[in-house]
Amino acid sequence: MEKVGIGLLGYGTVGSGVGKLLVKNAEDITLATGRQVYLKRVLEKDPGFSAPGLDPALLTARFEDILEDPGIDIVVELIGGVGAALDFQLRALRAGKNVVTANKQLLAQHGAELFEAAESTNAHLRFEASAVGAVPVIKVLRESLVAAEVKTIFGIVNGTTNYMLSAMAETGAEYGDVLKEAQRLGYAEADPTEDVGGKDAAAKMAILASIGFHSRTGLDDVAYEGISGVTSADIAHGARLGLVAKLLGVAKLIDGRMNVRVYPAFIPRAHPLAGVTGAYNAVFLESDAFDRIMLFGPGAGSVPTASAVIGDIISVVNTVKGSFVQNCLCYKDVPFFAGADMVSSFYLRLRVSDQPGVLAKIASLFGDHGVSIASMVQEGGGDAAELVLLLHPVREAQFFAALDKMKSLPEVQGESAFIRIEGET
């Protein structure tokens, strides 16, 4: 039987999962491909590296041992980062080797270079695990829905922040305490910046928008905000209004232009995404062709992510060079839609002095900017009075202009908080 050698770069969380699944599911993989797919070499930078179940004879600290091995057909990059990983992937693709990766930041920041390198030798570059871990959203967008003209891709694409916002809603604890607990339980990394700041979700959304809208989108094209400004008070106000807070990735195609962003948002409790709690991920796809599809599952973890990597390996093995779908399918150049022109509904919390005429003043200022109030609730009184407003959909530039003016009113004190509302029907 023909053999397919795998050169695995990195035997960490995901890499070791791939190593184990290749052995454990060897029979299924052979049945799916008609070939014997096996681990031929493993790159780790520490020459003294060892791991349970890994044959030390497979280890090398020299990338060239993989690059120059004619028996290695597929290089699986699972070291992460955008330094050595970029160098290794480019060299492998330019040498005509197929590459499978889970590296979202690398693809979102250097996708153009990588896909060009793949095209130059007709090599395959597969990256299902780079967005939403085990959930096969890229394959669905690229193959199953290729003719469906997907118009909206939005969802929960970061498990850390979803765990944290769920915990804040359940316990009423504040952001800082929940972050510490998430780190203790292993849901957040020691340096959680990429997750809580939205950069991880932004890279995934750049990849999903590229595939879904067939137009190259990079990290620089995605405006992103994290969850550090979301308070348990806002989550509780939202809950009373039937809303649930999530960090959402939102990519929309509007009149031939696209907008891709990441921000904390409220969604109605009845929305299917509202029930996605803990470290789970879910992506909602909308199209005139099929209305709505939701994909749901674990967005990270050793074996779940490794299973998506194995799926990509099988897809490469089953693909005759050059005769299958292109790697990226970015054959369009869709212009971007400015965030300021996007139309959004808002939740707004203001601290005001409880004086006669304040509500009328605020309503009139909003009216002057074309912002219409759907509901307004006052909580508390005296200096601690808070107004919680829900605003009808409005061009974001108008909302922010009104908010700026509002902050200069003497009756409005301290920091205001706003959260977009998504998923309304």
Ligand X SMILES: NC(=O)c1ccc[n+]([C@@H]2O[C@H](COP(=O)([O-])OP(=O)(O)OC[C@H]3O[C@@H](n4cnc5c(N)ncnc54)[C@H](OP(=O)(O)O)[C@@H]3O)[C@@H](O)[C@H]2O)c1
Reduced to 3 states (helix: H, G, I; strand: E, B; else coil), residue 308 is helix
Half-sphere exposure of 179 (CA within 13 A, CB side): 18
The residue among 64 and 177 lying less far from ligand X, judged by its C-beta, is 64
Ramachandran quadrant class, 81 (left: phi over 0; alpha: psi -120 to 50; beta: rest): left
For residue 144, the minimal CB distance to ligand X (Å) is 21
- Cα–Cα dist 315/317, whole Å: 6
Strands 412-421 and 257-268: parallel
Tell me the Cα Rg of the chain. 24
Residue 248 near residue 365, CB atoms below 8 Å: no
Number of H helices, E strands in the chain: 14, 16
For residue 301, the minimal CB distance to ligand X (Å) is 5
Nearest residue to 244 via CA among 205, 297, 282, 209: 282
Which of 6, 54, 79, 417 touches ligand X by CB under 6 A?
79
80 near ligand X, judged by CB under 6 A: yes
- Cα–Cα dist 396/254, whole Å: 15
For residue 49, the minimal CB distance to ligand X (Å) is 7
The residue among 196 and 300 lying less far from ligand X, judged by its C-beta, is 300
Residue 393 near residue 421, CB atoms below 8 Å: no
The residue among 41 and 369 lying less far from ligand X, judged by its C-beta, is 41
For residue 356, the minimal CB distance to ligand X (Å) is 56
User: CA of 67: how far to CAs of 64, 91, 151, 257, 409, in Å?
Assistant: 5, 8, 40, 41, 65
45 near ligand X, judged by CB under 6 A: yes
11 near ligand X, judged by CB under 6 A: yes
Which of 58, 82, 84, 293 touches ligand X by CB under 6 A?
84
The residue among 103 and 287 lying less far from ligand X, judged by its C-beta, is 103
58 near ligand X, judged by CB under 6 A: no
For residue 43, the minimal CB distance to ligand X (Å) is 5
For residue 99, the minimal CB distance to ligand X (Å) is 13
- Cα–Cα dist 264/246, whole Å: 6
Listed in sequence order, the residues at least 6 apart from 29 whose beta carbon sits closer than 8 Å to its beta carbon are 22, 37, 310, 313, 314
**Maximum CA extent, the chain:** 85
- Cα–Cα dist 156/165, whole Å: 11
12 near ligand X, judged by CB under 6 A: yes
For residue 104, the minimal CB distance to ligand X (Å) is 6
Which of 4, 6, 8, 14 touches ligand X by CB under 6 A?
14
| Residues acting as catalytic residues | 204
279 near ligand X, judged by CB under 6 A: no
Residue 402, token pair as written in the block: 């009104």
For residue 351, the minimal CB distance to ligand X (Å) is 40
Stretch that binds ligand X, among 44-52, 136-144, 224-232, 415-423 (CB under 6 A): 44-52
Q: How many residues bind ligand X (CB under 6 A)?
A: 22
Q: Which of residues 95-134 bind ligand X (CB under 6 A)?
A: 102-104, 129, 133
71 near ligand X, judged by CB under 6 A: no
The residue among 54 and 389 lying less far from ligand X, judged by its C-beta, is 54
Nearest residue to 88 via CA among 109, 72, 105, 66: 66
Adjacency order of strands within the sheet including 59-60: 59-60, 36-43, 3-9, 72-77, 98-101, 125-126
Contact characters 292-321, ligand X, x per CB under 6 A:
--------xx---x----------------
Beta bridge mates, 59: 42
167 near ligand X, judged by CB under 6 A: no
The residue among 167 and 279 lying less far from ligand X, judged by its C-beta, is 279
Stretch that binds ligand X, among 13-21, 112-120, 347-355, 382-390 (CB under 6 A): 13-21
Stretch that binds ligand X, among 27-35, 76-84, 321-329, 353-361 (CB under 6 A): 76-84
Interface residues toward ligand X, by CB under 6 A: 10-15, 43-46, 78-80, 84, 102-104, 129, 133, 300-301, 305
